[in-house]
Amino acid sequence: MTALTQYQRLECTGLWRLTATAQLREVVVGLRDTTLVLADPRTEMALSHWSLPSVERVNPGEMPALFTPGRMDDGSPSETVELDDPDMIAALETVRTTLIRRRPKPGRVRGVTVLAGLAAVALFVFLWLPEAMIRHTASVLPMATRVQIGKLALADAARLTGTPCVQPVGLRGAAALAQRLATQGVGEIDVVRDGVDGAVALPGGIVLLSDKLVEAAQDPEPVAGYALAAMLRVQVSDPVIPILHHAGLTATLRLLTTGHLPPGALQGYAETLLNAKPAPVDEERLLEKFRQVNLSSTAYARVVDPTGVASKGLIDGDPFKGVSPAPVLDDNDWISLQGICAG
């Protein structure tokens, strides 16, 4: 049920910009239960999902109205959409206000708890329990906040990877692959030209794929395998924790009490993220993921090690003996994904 039932399924057209330097693109903007969906008007494929509580208007009182789902480290908007439909503008501002009023007040609840014990435990927390504080903060973050942190990490990584490729037809293939792997926590697939060796997963189910991997693959099976392995790594080791180590205790406390990291908290984190050697994955757990998505592990294993020596366990333990029972993508989506960085 939406915050205000009279706005259920409201739709209009708008002009979407993925980044500050990207070209404006016409989209269909749809108001859903808890999200704002931006879709391609021709293919009806979703290009972006915004959490309604995080949507804010950048230019109050001006037209066309400019909305964003969050801000970059420097305080500037991340994605934006321009709207001139008065019903949609009124709906967004009214629904956002209503959601904020109805949701639990973390500042009030947490504030009472924090203030009650702050004088007694502050020194103890900051001097002896920094790791516990970081892990506790990571453990209580809702998915919407994890997605926001993932977007901030993605924005910082763009310094090294370049802006994610947005060839329109290719975006359809990326969305189809994300949907195919959604049961494993994948929410968004972004393909980048540089800086990523295989695949890297960010908080909120955001997976970065190397364009070189996508272009070189004979079929989508090894690409999907890299995404599964990346998601397994972040499920074993929470990716928010190293981000909070980088941001520091002050930023962590602000995130815990306000739900937002301060501007600039992730600046420079991309070097740590992209230069780190990928952690080894447990083959049995990875094979189980392949089984859950009806995907053979052999094609992925052959790309990881063409000799088959280092990946012998993934070949011998393949739940489908080299033949996937269902295609990862149809031919059109696979071809479009391979061309996502063209042009």
Domains in the chain, CATH or no CATH each: 5-102 (2.30.29.30), 143-338 (no CATH)
CA dihedral sign of residues 314, 316, 320, 321? positive
Rounded to an integer, what distance in angstroms lies between the CA atom of residue 268 and that of residue 12?
38
- Residue 238 DSSP code: -
pLDDT value, residue 110: 58
Residue 3: the pLDDT is 44
Instruction: Report pLDDT for 202.
Output: 97
Radius of gyration of the chain from its Cα atoms, rounded to whole angstroms: 21
What does the pLDDT read at residue 8?
A: 65
One DSSP character per residue, 71-98 reads: B-TTS-BSSEEEE--HHHHHHHHHHHHH
Instruction: Give me 103's structure tokens.
Output: 């949701």
Tokens of 26: 């016409």
For residue 33, what pLDDT is reported?
A: 77
| Ranges under pLDDT 70 in the chain | 1-8, 99-100, 102-128, 343
pLDDT recorded at residue 175? 94
Burial label for 82, CB within 10 Å (0-12, 13-18, 19+), is middle
Among the residues of the chain, which ranges form H helices?
A: 86-102, 106-128, 130-140, 143-161, 168-180, 211-216, 220-236, 240-247, 249-258, 269-275, 283-292, 298-304, 312-316, 331-338
CA 338 to chain centre: 21
Give me the amino acid identity at 336.
S
* Residue 281 amino acid letter: V
